[in-house]
């Protein structure tokens, strides 16, 4: 039986420029522009009220990274501690060969259990000689050769959650060695923290503080491959929507799509809501052996484009209907005066979910073109006032509403 994963709540991710101070010759143009970037003002009072971004940017790192949520793969959800350098290399190969890399999944992230159980000479971190005999630098070079980026894992305590060496009291040395290996991304956990008070560590509610040290931060406990875990986590992450934006993202944990614990409809809902919430899209299944259905979900370009939209406003739960409010409407603004809308049926039976357009911030008297992102077709060029659809049990339908182009009569 695997040892329990002892995360002591709310780790955060540092998507990493290990040195964030400006270089001697100033920031390059892209990074300089990113440092000035903030969410564009939403065009109407209704949108500003529903999709509040008032807390975004208060403590933003502004290091030029993560202008959209990070995408990639992480080893933990499927492999846990059963990882080795061959798995990482093969996964990098699979991301490329399946076309997922071309869709933006470009981080290959090694989670816990990569390191030796003890530090080496001079207290230096060492890779496990049995599972990573070639070393992390060689692995980074391989991943970079595929046009991808390598991520690694450490911990803010004396041990990682699986009792490998943590970085507490070794922060600068560990950061330096990660940089020397060519690591692009650091996931930083929070186990075995010696009971240091949260106010000294910033453990509680990272959305309130982590933006000045990292580019994304966990807002929830670890996800499990179950409907209950996924839905509970979505609700918890929704609370922090006003803190997210270009350069800093709320992270409700990695994707479980394809791991077998949920139905196709539930995984489709999982991917839809994570995309709408501007969550990092980190695949958690074995991409070397995916089913056609898993690939269909993970490769949906139109849903990915919602996640990667440059406006960077986190979508959120707008209303619930029916018994216990289980017929839900989630929505979020996109660039170009568009709106993404998800009709999510969390009920135990199919349901017709209807939304009045003003309730999601749209003009109820103006026409909208409606695009179905799972059917990949435009349903109507002239929706006015109200829109609805039949949604199967635990499924989610996702649309983009675009102001219709009207042509003046001659």
Would you state the structure tokens that stand for residue 170, as one six-digit string?
A: 């070794």
Contact 207, 217 (CB under 8 A): yes
269 vs 167: CA distance, rounded Å: 37
pLDDT tier for residue 113 given thresholds of 50, 70 and 90: very high
Residue 40 has pLDDT above 90, yes or no: no
Q: Give residue-wise pLDDT tens across range 252-275.
A: 999 999 999 999 999 999 999 999
Most confident range (mean pLDDT) of 37-46, 189-198, 266-275 is 266-275
> What is the predicted pLDDT for the residue at 200?
62
Q: Give residue-wise pLDDT tens across range 51-70.
A: 999 999 887 788 889 999 99
Mean pLDDT confidence for 93-112: 98
- Altogether, the residues listed in the chain come to a count of 410
> What is the predicted pLDDT for the residue at 16?
41
Mean pLDDT confidence for 348-373: 97
Q: Give residue-wise pLDDT tens across range 129-143.
A: 999 999 999 999 999
What contacts 153, CB < 8 A, 6 or more positions away? Answer: 109, 110, 111, 112, 114, 160, 186, 187, 188, 189
- Locate CATH 2.60.40.1180 in the chain: 316-403
Residue 177 has pLDDT above 80, yes or no: yes
> Catalytic positions, please?
189, 222
Q: What is the pTM of this model?
A: 0.92
Q: Quickly list DSSP for 350-397.
A: -EEEEEEGGGGT--TTS-EEEEETTTTEEEEEEE-SEEEEEE-TT-EE
Mean pLDDT confidence for 103-109: 98
pLDDT tier for residue 94 given thresholds of 50, 70 and 90: very high
Residue 23 has pLDDT above 50, yes or no: no
What contacts 330, CB < 8 A, 6 or more positions away? Answer: 273, 276, 315, 316, 317, 318, 341, 342, 344
pLDDT tier for residue 29 given thresholds of 50, 70 and 90: very low
Q: What percent of the chain has pLDDT over 90?
A: 81
Strands 249-251 and 216-218: parallel
Rounded to the nearest integer, the mean pLDDT of the chain is 90
> What is the predicted pLDDT for the residue at 57?
81
Would you state the structure tokens that stand for residue 155, as one six-digit string?
A: 């911990």
Would you state the structure tokens that stand for residue 224, as one six-digit string?
A: 């499990």
| Least confident residue range of 42-51, 128-137, 152-161, 209-218 | 209-218
Residue 365 has pLDDT above 60, yes or no: yes
| Radius of gyration over every alpha carbon of the chain, rounded to an integer in angstroms | 22
Residue 36 has pLDDT above 80, yes or no: no
Strands 386-391 and 338-345: unpaired
Residue 3 has pLDDT above 50, yes or no: no
Residue 185 has pLDDT above 50, yes or no: yes
Q: Give residue-wise pLDDT tens across range 286-319.
A: 999 999 999 999 999 999 999 999 999 999 999 9
Residue 161 has pLDDT above 50, yes or no: yes
Fold of 316-403: Immunoglobulin-like (2.60.40)
Fold of 14-21+43-308: TIM Barrel (3.20.20)
Residue 343 has pLDDT above 90, yes or no: yes
pLDDT tier for residue 201 given thresholds of 50, 70 and 90: low
Mean pLDDT confidence for 370-377: 98
Residue 359 has pLDDT above 80, yes or no: yes
372 vs 379: CA distance, rounded Å: 7
Mean pLDDT confidence for 354-367: 97
3-state secondary structure at position 252: coil
> What is the predicted pLDDT for the residue at 198?
56
> What is the predicted pLDDT for the residue at 386?
97
* Nearest of 69, 18, 19, 62 to residue 216 by alpha carbon: 69
- Locate CATH 3.20.20.70 in the chain: 14-21+43-308
């Amino acid at each position: 039986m695997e040892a329990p994963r002892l995360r002591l709540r709310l780790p955060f991710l540092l998507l990493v420029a290990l040195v964030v101070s400006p270089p001697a010759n100033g920031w390059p143009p892209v990074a300089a522009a990113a440092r000035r970037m903030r969410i564009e003002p939403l065009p109407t009072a209704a949108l500003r009220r529903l999709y509040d971004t008032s807390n975004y940017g208060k403590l933003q790192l502004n290091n030029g990274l993560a202008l959209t949520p990070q995408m990639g793969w992480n080893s933990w959800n499927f492999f846990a501690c059963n990882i080795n350098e061959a798995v990482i290399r093969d996964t990098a190969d699979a991301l490329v060969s399946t076309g997922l890399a071309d869709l933006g999944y470009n981080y290959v992230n090694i989670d816990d259990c990569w390191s030796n159980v003890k530090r080496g000479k001079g207290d230096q971190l060492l890779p496990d000689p049995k599972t990573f005999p070639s070393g992390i630098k060689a692995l980074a070079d391989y991943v970079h050769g595929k046009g991808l980026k390598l991520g690694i894992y450490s911990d803010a305590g004396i041990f990682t959650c699986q009792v490998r060496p943590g970085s507490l009291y070794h922060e600068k040395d560990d950061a330096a060695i990660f940089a020397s290996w060519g690591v692009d991304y650091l996931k930083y956990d929070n186990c075995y923290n010696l009971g240091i008070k949260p106010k000294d560590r910033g453990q509680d509610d990272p959305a309130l503080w982590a933006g000045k040290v990292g580019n994304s931060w966990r807002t929830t406990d670890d996800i499990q491959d179950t409907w209950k875990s996924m839905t509970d986590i979505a609700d918890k992450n929704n609370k922090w929507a006003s803190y997210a934006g270009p350069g800093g993202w709320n992270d409700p944990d990695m994707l479980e799509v394809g791991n077998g614990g949920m139905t196709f409809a539930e995984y489709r809902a999982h991917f839809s809501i994570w995309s709408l919430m501007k969550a990092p899209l980190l695949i958690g299944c074995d991409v070397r052996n995916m089913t056609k259905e898993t690939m269909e979900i993970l490769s949906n370009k139109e849903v990915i484009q919602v996640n990667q939209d440059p406006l960077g406003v986190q979508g959120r739960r707008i209303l619930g209907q029916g018994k216990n409010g289980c017929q839900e409407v989630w929505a979020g603004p996109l660039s170009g005066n568009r709106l993404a809308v998800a009709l999510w049926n969390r009920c135990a039976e199919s349901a017709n979910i209807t939304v009045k357009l003003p309730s999601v911030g749209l003009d109820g008297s103006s026409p909208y073109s409606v695009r179905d992102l799972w059917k990949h077709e435009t349903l109507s060029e002239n929706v006015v006032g109200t829109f609805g659809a039949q949604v199967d049990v635990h499924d989610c339908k996702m649309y983009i509403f675009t102001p219709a182009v009207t042509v003046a009569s001659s």
